[in-house]
């Protein structure tokens, strides 16, 4: 959940700006982020697409646009007027609002960052108020998430997102939500119902003043229903599943270099062997045919990523026992890593109703705090990196006009159902969807033009691609457990609650004043054979799933003798653990750094916890130094450099070695050595793999960048672990066979040459933060290259209005203060700690937290970007629980009152 929430936001100005593009000329920096940067939003795209699909607006709107153009001419810039226009649309933070169905008055306080404190006298009013507040802050986001989960986004955004709708209908999140919803108990169902009433109260009051994106898209939101909150929960769960994209990428790579060689590019962990068995299962499979079968899915990847379904995220959490703290009470820390976005997806909130008192990170659309503190316990989460998706290749043919698939020697008919798609500006279409015993055929839903029914036309069909993924079981109690977790009074009370959360695969770390604990939760498949790292042939049945792991065998820990617990998406189980939780663990260095810093003192405080979260020391650097500067390989590297006749090249390599020798591993923004390490990893990635997988714009190289940057990767594995036995330690463009030492030596020289070409010849002026930066961009800005000329031009003109940055970035993939970049592509940061939270139970007010941007998604709001500086400066915001501190912290007061009739 922490690692993938879909955000949806719009802004009227993108329409207006299209009318004054030639007037407003602002700078538009190059697109930052990774090739398929997973974003947690769809953003302003529906407004832009609305402009394209509806050229004839109402006369009133036309006159408004003309008026704005004239004023822009007078002002010389549209941005000032747009900012003024949106300031006028902001809801007040003080005053009184009538809501008919409230029983009693609810107080909504806001602090200097716009963070709300909601206090009600009964649970029904509390839920209604939270719904109202969520809608007032994030209505467009909520509606977008709902439509995405239902596969109905084209109803608002038009045909450009139809393939996304087809994909989501294939995944059937609606069915998953219905399973979860039917298990919600009466008490929690009532909360969902009153939450919906709060959302709908806001909708009723804003029928003629909806948020700009919804209004200009011409979309009238339906009334919010209780199950809609569960749909968002199901969408969040689905967004955490990412192995699908890795398997598709692996298939694309294997098509070019073969399955066995591809296995070298999919290392599991530094101490584990290459999984050649995964390649063996593809022997006899026509890889060209198989890769062609997933072409439509691969092409959909950028759109999936833009709405947060790319499946990539991370996070840190740890808990320090009272024995290792200065003040004799536990400390819990959590920072959830998500793609860098504007705004952040988190909606921070404090909710109080009698003894129910909880603060933390909420999801707009559901009355649940997913990570936080309730006065008794604190809890945070990280991704397990669970492999709960497998692709199965299916042999298909038609029998008497009906599609069949081969399974265990028999040709079985697919099950099928039809879905109707309503598309803005187009006539409805009907499509047929197919399922095998392994799950839905996802390529059948995507391979043809959207206006056609996806149905095979001949016997000589490509492979079908069926997706097996974990879905809620009939007795799944996850929703009730999440509700109950916020009320848990101790670690012992929380443990059985945690175990009931099966719908989301997470590392839950939690604590009370005297105890700390860790519990892995979620559903994990048991496979008859294989580990699901590559697609499996479905016709034999030998790689089928046979069930789910029992909750009792999932890893857990309470009050360990070490005095701390920490997870960082690393392999949290021994390599001989008898069950497969993942084949896509993250790099181990962040987890190792948690151990190192947690073990360094038995006097931990809030300050040492902050130091850990803000730490930029990379433990990969000393490992790299050990390999390159010591031992046999180091001698071979020096021998190679000494053999070069190019003195400048040799001098560059020697400079790189000297700088590396002097480097302490702190990836600070102003460090020249950090810049060298980053440049070296980039050059090494290309020098090791690009000759086989290039050119850089090829499908196979782009696929490699996916698998090389979503988990422990081939670059690091080859540098630190694999020797000349790997076929990639060779440049296939030369007649001789190169060695590891030769390619590393070349990469050292290339790194210096790169820095000289980009930062000048004086190493003293090289800075990691000059090449490695943060840029807070809206999802639409990141999608700009895929949009039309008019839309791109408008976005360029308004770039500085919507986006912030660039700013120098410290850290990298390996640091606790993570700042992931696309190794082998560029240095633009795409993954950051989207929030930070510390709960020190020894303090009078234990909880501190910070968001990575502002609370608002309106660029004209003072709370759109005020959190960025606090986040960059390492500042934390208090979440007080004591009445006097609450009143001091939250000084803007809004009263939500029952209607005069009810009074």
Establish whether the linkage from the previous residue to 695 is cis, with ω within 30° of 0: yes
Q: Rounded to whole angstroms, how far apart are CA atoms 120 and 608?
A: 36
pLDDT in tens, 370-396: 999 999 999 999 999 999 999 999 999
CA-nearest of 775, 833, 823, 812 to 663 is: 812
33 has pLDDT over 50: no
Residue 167's nearest CA partner among 305, 10, 345 is: 305
Partners of residue 118 on adjacent β-strands: 108, 351
pLDDT tops 60 at residue 800: yes
CA 229 – CA 181 distance, rounded (Å): 9
For residues 897 and 322, give the distance between their C-alpha atoms in angstroms, rounded to a whole number.
Answer: 44
| Percent of the chain residues past pLDDT 90, beyond the cut | 70
Q: What is the mean pLDDT of residues 719-733?
A: 96
Query: Using alpha carbons only, what angle is made at residue 233 by residues 154 and 91, rounded to the nearest 5 degrees?
Result: 70
Residue 463 has pLDDT above 50, yes or no: yes
Lowest mean pLDDT among 293-307, 309-323, 394-408, 729-743: 293-307
pLDDT tens profile 155-202? 988 887 888 888 899 999 999 999 999 999 999 999 999 999 999 999
pLDDT tens digits for 537-579? 999 999 999 999 999 999 999 999 999 999 999 999 999 999 9
- What angle do helix axes 620-629 and 631-642 make, rounded to 10 degrees? 60
User: Mean pLDDT over residues 52-80, rounded?
Assistant: 49
Residue 461 pLDDT exceeds 90: no
Q: Are 363 and 140 in contact (CB under 8 A)?
A: no
pTM of the model: 0.89
Using DSSP's 3-state secondary structure scheme, residue 805 falls into strand
Query: Which among 344, 384, 269, 316 has a CA at the least distance from the CA of 816?
Result: 316
**Mean pLDDT, the chain, whole residue set:** 86
315 annotated active-site: yes
Mean pLDDT, residues 113-121: 97
The strand ranges marked E within 515-628 are 516-521, 525-527, 536-537, 545-548, 556-558, 564-567
* Stretch among 179-193, 339-353, 580-594 having the lowest mean pLDDT: 339-353
* Band (789; pLDDT cuts 50, 70, 90): low
Res 580 pLDDT > 50: yes
pLDDT of residue 44: 43
Distance CA 199, CA 442 (A): 34
Give the pLDDT of residue 298.
59
Euclidean distance between CA atoms 301 and 284, whole angstroms: 28
Structure confidence by residue, pLDDT tens digits, 625-683:
999 999 899 999 999 999 999 999 999 999 999 999 999 999 999 999 999 999 999 99
Q: State mean pLDDT over 887-891.
A: 97
Query: Does 61 have pLDDT greater than 80?
Result: no
Which pLDDT belongs to residue 81?
72
Q: Write down the residue that tokens 């433990």 correspond to.
A: 619
621 phi/psi in degrees, rounded to 5 = -60, -50
Task: Give mean pLDDT, residues 19-37.
Answer: 35
Catalytic residue (choose from 32, 229, 241, 315): 315
Give the HSE-up count for residue 102: Cα atoms under 13 Å, Cβ half-sphere: 29
Cβ-in-10-Å burial (0-12, 13-18, 19+) of 775 comes to buried
Instruction: Name the band, by pLDDT with cuts 50, 70 and 90, for residue 451.
Output: very low
> CB-based contacts of 84: which residues, under 8 Å, 6+ apart?
860
């Amino acid at each position: 959940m922490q690692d993938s929430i879909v955000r949806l936001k719009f802004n009227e100005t993108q329409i207006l700006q299209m009318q004054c593009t030639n007037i407003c000329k602002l700078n538009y920096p190059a697109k930052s982020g990774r090739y398929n940067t997973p974003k947690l939003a769809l953003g302003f795209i529906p407004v832009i697409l609305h402009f394209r699909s509806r050229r004839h607006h109402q006369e009133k709107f036309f006159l408004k646009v003309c008026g704005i153009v004239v004023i822009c001419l007078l002002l010389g810039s549209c941005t000032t007027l747009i900012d003024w226009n949106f300031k006028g649309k902001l809801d007040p933070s003080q005053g009184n609002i009538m809501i008919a169905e409230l029983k009693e008055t609810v107080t909504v306080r806001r602090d200097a960052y716009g963070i709300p404190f909601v206090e009600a006298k009964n649970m029904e009013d509390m839920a209604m108020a939270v719904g109202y507040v969520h809608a007032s802050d994030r209505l467009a986001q909520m509606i977008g998430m709902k439509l995405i989960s239902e596969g109905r986004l084209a109803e608002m955004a038009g045909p450009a997102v139809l393939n996304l709708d087809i994909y989501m209908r294939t995944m059937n999140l609606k069915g998953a939500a219905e399973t979860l919803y039917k298990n919600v108990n009466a008490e929690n169902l009532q909360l969902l119902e009153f939450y919906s009433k709060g959302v709908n109260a806001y909708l009723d009051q804003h029928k003629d003043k909806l948020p700009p994106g919804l209004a200009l898209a011409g979309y009238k939101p339906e009334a919010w229903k209780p199950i809609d909150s569960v749909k968002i929960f199901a969408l969040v769960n689905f967004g955490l599943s990412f192995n699908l994209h890795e398997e598709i990428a692996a298939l694309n790579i294997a098509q070019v270099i073969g399955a066995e060689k591809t296995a070298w590019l999919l290392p599991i962990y530094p101490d584990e062997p290459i999984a050649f068995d995964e390649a063996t299962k593809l022997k006899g499979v026509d890889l060209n045919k198989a890769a062609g079968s997933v072409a439509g899915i691969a092409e959909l990847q950028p759109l999936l990523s833009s709405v947060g379904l790319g499946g990539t995220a991370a996070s840190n959490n740890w808990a320090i026992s009272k024995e290792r703290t200065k003040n004799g009470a536990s400390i819990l820390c959590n920072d959830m890593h998500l793609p860098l976005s504007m705004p952040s997806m988190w909606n921070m909130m404090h909710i109080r109703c009698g003894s129910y008192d909880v603060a933390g990170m909420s999801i707009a659309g559901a009355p649940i705090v997913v990570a936080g503190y309730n006065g008794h316990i604190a809890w945070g989460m990280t991704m397990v990196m669970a492999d709960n998706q497998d692709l199965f290749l299916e042999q298909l043919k038609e029998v008497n006009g009906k599609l069949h698939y081969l399974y265990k020697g028999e040709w079985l008919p697919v099950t099928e159902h039809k879905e109707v798609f309503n598309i803005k500006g187009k006539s409805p279409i009907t499509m047929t969807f197919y399922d095998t015993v392994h799950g839905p055929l996802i390529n059948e839903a995507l391979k043809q033009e959207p206006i056609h029914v996806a149905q095979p036309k001949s016997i000589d069909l490509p492979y079908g691609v069926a997706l097996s993924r974990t879905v809620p079981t009939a007795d799944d109690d996850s929703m009730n457990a999440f509700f109950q977790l916020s009320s848990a009074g101790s670690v012992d009370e929380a443990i059985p609650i945690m175990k009931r959360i099966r719908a989301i695969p997470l590392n839950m770390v939690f604590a009370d004043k005297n105890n700390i604990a860790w519990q892995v939760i979620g559903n994990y498949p048991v496979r008859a054979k294989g580990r699901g790292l590559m697609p499996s042939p479905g016709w034999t049945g030998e790689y089928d799933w046979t069930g789910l792991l029992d909750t009792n065998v999932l890893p857990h820990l309470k009050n360990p003798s070490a005095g701390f617990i920490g997870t960082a998406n690393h392999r949290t189980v021994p390599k001989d653990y008898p069950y497969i939780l993942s084949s896509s663990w993250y790099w181990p260095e962040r987890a190792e750094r948690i151990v190192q810093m947690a073990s360094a003192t038995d006097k931990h405080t809030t300050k040492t916890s902050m130091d850990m979260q803000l730490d930029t020391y990379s433990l990969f650097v000393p490992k790299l130094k050990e390999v390159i500067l010591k031992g046999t390989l180091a001698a071979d590297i020096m021998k190679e450099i000494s053999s070069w006749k190019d003195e400048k090249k040799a001098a560059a390599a020697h400079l790189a070695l000297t700088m590396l020798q002097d480097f302490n591993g702190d990836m600070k923004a102003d460090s020249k050595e950090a810049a060298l390490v980053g440049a070296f990893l980039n050059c090494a990635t290309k020098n090791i793999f690009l000759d086989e997988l290039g050119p850089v714009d090829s499908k196979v190289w782009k696929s490699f960048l996916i698998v090389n940057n979503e988990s422990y990767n081939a670059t690091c594995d080859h540098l630190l672990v694999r020797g000349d036995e790997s076929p990639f330690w060779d440049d296939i463009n030369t007649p001789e066979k190169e060695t590891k030492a030769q390619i590393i030596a070349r990469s050292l020289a290339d790194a210096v040459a790169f820095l000289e070409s980009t930062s000048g010849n004086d190493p003293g002026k090289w800075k990691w933060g000059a090449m490695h930066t943060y840029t807070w961009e809206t999802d639409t800005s990141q999608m700009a290259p895929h949009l039309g000329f008019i839309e791109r031009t408008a976005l360029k003109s308004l770039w500085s209005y919507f986006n912030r940055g660039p700013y120098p970035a410290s850290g990298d993939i390996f640091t606790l203060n993570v700042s992931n970049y696309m190794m082998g592509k560029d240095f633009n940061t795409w993954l950051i700690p989207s929030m930070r939270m510390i709960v020190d139970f020894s303090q009078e007010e234990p909880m501190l937290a910070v968001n990575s941007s502002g609370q608002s998604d309106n660029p004209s709001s003072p709370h759109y970007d005020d959190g960025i500086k606090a986040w960059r400066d390492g500042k934390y915001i208090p979440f007080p629980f004591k009445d006097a501190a609450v009143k001091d912290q939250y000084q803007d007061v809004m009263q939500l009152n029952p209607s005069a009739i009810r009074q």
